[in-house]
Structure 1
Amino acid sequence: IVRLLLDKGANVTHFGKSGTALTAASRGGHEVIARLLLARGAEIVINADGQYSGTALFAASEKGHENIVRLLLDKGADVAHSGTDGTALVAASEGGHEAIARLLLDQGAGININAEGEFKGTALFAAS
């Protein structure tokens, strides 16, 4: 269905309260769809300002989708980006996703970045 919608002119970069289509695919663990969206020009740096205030990298890290995290990092996702709920490392730490936390740290994620939003905390706080 995603391919059909894109072929009919759906805006791959549109975002609403819950983010972009790439954010949704990343959160849901839909790697094939994430790859398709990226191939069609989806931007990985868009940060939703609404209800779901995170990037695609944050969403994939939060839900434990390691293959999508790798894909997004390979495509240039900013491992240091901090939204209102924190960084991807905070999200992975809170969810107990150790392999993703290691991957993000290996890519240079900051350990002591403090989230400014509702969550307010570091990766160590989230993991605890």
Structure 2
Amino acid sequence: LLEAGADVNAVEGEYGTALQAACYLGSKSGVHLLLDYGAHVNMPACGNYGNASQAAVEGGNESVVQLLLNRGADVNARGGRYETALQAAANSGKKSLVQL
């Protein structure tokens, strides 16, 4: 789909963007691919998860969270169900996500 010209930053539905969906589902290879095709790591708040970082935290995948941080994710971005990734991490009960 990306090679055929699909909009990598299209916004729609529960996940908001394809990047947020890949982050929530913990698809590190999918996240890499979408970022390589120009997905915005700091896309403005959209969908239930607000942003890619919050979606990754809610999905519980630390390696995806770290990948987003390495790619410049804004840890203070607001929006979504928990407003920030830190609040989502605190809600998860996973100390490692809060520390990350």
Task: Give the structure-1-normalised TM-score.
Answer: 0.65
Alignment root-mean-square deviation, CA? 1.2
RCO higher in 1 or 2 (8 Å CA, sep ≥ 6)? 2
**Structure 2 counterpart of 1:62, one-letter code:** Y
For 1:45, the equivalent position in structure 2 comes to: 9
Return the match for 1:122 from 68, 84, 96: 84
Tell me if 1:65 matches 2:33.
no
SS of 1:92's equivalent in the other structure is helix
**Structure 1 counterpart of 2:75, one-letter code:** I
Larger Rg: 1
Specify every segment of 5 or more residues in structure 2 that has no aligned partner in the other structure, as ranges.
Answer: 91-100
Aligned residues: 88
- 1:53 deviation in Å? 4.6
Give identity over the alignment, percent. Answer: 45
For 2:59, the equivalent position in structure 1 comes to: 95
Specify every segment of 5 or more residues in structure 1 that has no aligned partner in the other structure, as ranges.
Answer: 1-36
Work out whether residues 57 and 88 of structure 2, in 8 Å CA contact, stay in contact via their aligned partners in 1: yes
SS of 1:113's equivalent in the other structure is coil
Query: In the aligned structure 2, how far is the partner of 1:88 from the partner of 1:80?
Result: 7
